[in-house]
Amino acid sequence: MLNAFKHPILPGQIGGHEGVGRIVTIGPPTTSTFSTPSTLKIGDRVGIKWQWSICGTCPPCLEGRDGLCFEGRASGTYMPGTFQQYVLGPANYVTPIPEGLDDVSAAPLMCAGLTVYAALRKANARAGEWVVVLGAG
């Protein structure tokens, strides 16, 4: 079992886990069991999250709890993070970013935004209900 929180940081890492940019090249298809046909193309805007990749087949993944994936790989600890000019990301797990959303607004969604979203989802919060978010700035 690979888990970013149970293993030491691999040598040669670079920090950063809220990256937004444009695809400059696309590599060969993955052989992962989680591979799905990608509609991504060069020039598309995408984001890279704290959770760099997931297996898509373990119990947490099948329950939609990506952050607990048994084989999850974290940006900056298992894979070099987003404080680079060019960053590698798995085509099946980068996040498409709409053109109308600027980088400064989109980047925090790759970590803090997902954390809040996950909490709201777990709470089954519905439109029109009130929630309290601690630590949001």
Q: Rule CB under 5 A: which residues touch Zn ion?
A: 54-55, 58, 61, 69
Q: For Zn ion, give the closer residue by CB, 69 or 94.
A: 69
Contact 32, 91 (CB under 8 A): no
Contact 26, 49 (CB under 8 A): no
We find the least distance from the C-beta atom of residue 65 to Zn ion, in angstroms, to be 9
We find the least distance from the C-beta atom of residue 69 to Zn ion, in angstroms, to be 3
Q: For Zn ion, give the closer residue by CB, 57 or 84.
A: 57
| CA-wise closest residue to 2 among 72, 91, 81 | 72
The Cα–Cα gap between 8 and 60 comes to: 22
We find the least distance from the C-beta atom of residue 72 to Zn ion, in angstroms, to be 6
49 phi and psi, to 5 degrees? -95, 175
Q: For Zn ion, give the closer residue by CB, 36 or 105.
A: 36
